[in-house]
Structure 1
Amino acid sequence: MSESPSDIKVGRILRVLEGPLSVTDEDDENSAANESSIRKCIRINVWEKMNSSLNELVDSVTLEDLAEDYRKRNGIDNTMYYI
């Protein structure tokens, strides 16, 4: 079963190759019970929001998007000519 490039999200590929996407190592979130309030504040207000944005971004880009952008940047015409 093959899929169209427009149906394949970059996020899916990255997660297969790399595992869960995160800007920091999570090592059990420093066991939340022992986490200082400043570390918790930073984790919630910075790292978790960055992780969310990262995942939204890679889940919004498809292989078709990348191929199209590549063609545009390299002046490759996508026109098909039939005789």
Structure 2
Amino acid sequence: MKISTKGRYGLTIMIDLAKKHGNGPTSLKNIARENDLSEHYLEQLASPLRNAGLIKSIRGAYGGYILAKEPATISAGDIIRVLEGPITPVEGIEDEEPAKQALWMRIRDAVKDVLDTTTLEDLANHNGEQPEEGYMFYI
């Protein structure tokens, strides 16, 4: 499964809002500037997050966005599903032979477990340590 910029930037919005939770609304302009991202693109991502009940928009001169729930109650999986759709490593696994089908399901379940047990609070409070040795990231 490959997470697109929609999922990655959506997480960026949500982590930023979680870090500022309780301090009033934050504008997408500020989030875009702080993370060197396109404000226009972030606006496109805010709509589905708002429709899913994960964020609220506040109008006015000092408006912006706030989390609709406590950071500890929103999982990374909630955000990824809204922006990326269902979590599945392979399309059409029902057509695979049983051994491969079992593998794809185990991979799907492992990814879901990580996403569903990682909260915005966890991500907002992360201390910047690198992942454990042995993990590889492909860029």
Q: Report TM bin, short chain.
A: 0.5 to 0.7
Compute the TM-score of the two structures, normalised by the length of structure 2.
Answer: 0.41
2:86 aligns with one of 16, 20, 28: 20
CA distance in 2, matches of 1:73, 1:9: 19
**Structure with greater Cα Rg:** 1
User: 2:136 aligns to what?
Assistant: none
Residue 66 of structure 1: aligned partner: 123
Q: Which has the higher helix share?
A: 1
- Once the two structures are superposed, residues 4-34 of structure 1 have per-residue CA deviations (whole angstroms, 9 ceiling, x without a partner) of 11110110110111111011122x722xxxx
Runs of 4+ in 1 over 6 A off after TM superposition: none
1:42 equivalent in alignment to 2:42: no
Percent identity, aligned pairs only?
32
Unaligned runs of 5+ in 1: 75-83
Give the number of aligned pairs.
Answer: 63
Higher share of residues assigned strand: 2
CA RMSD in angstroms comes to: 1.9
Provide Cα deviations, 1:17-73, integer angstroms capped at 9, x if missing partner: 1111011122x722xxxx5xxx221111x111111111111000011111111xx22
2:100 & 2:111 partners in 1: Cα distance? 17
TM (norm. structure 1) is 0.66
Structure 2: where are the runs of 5+ without partners? 1-55, 57-67, 130-139
Higher relative contact order (CA 8 A, sep 6+): 1
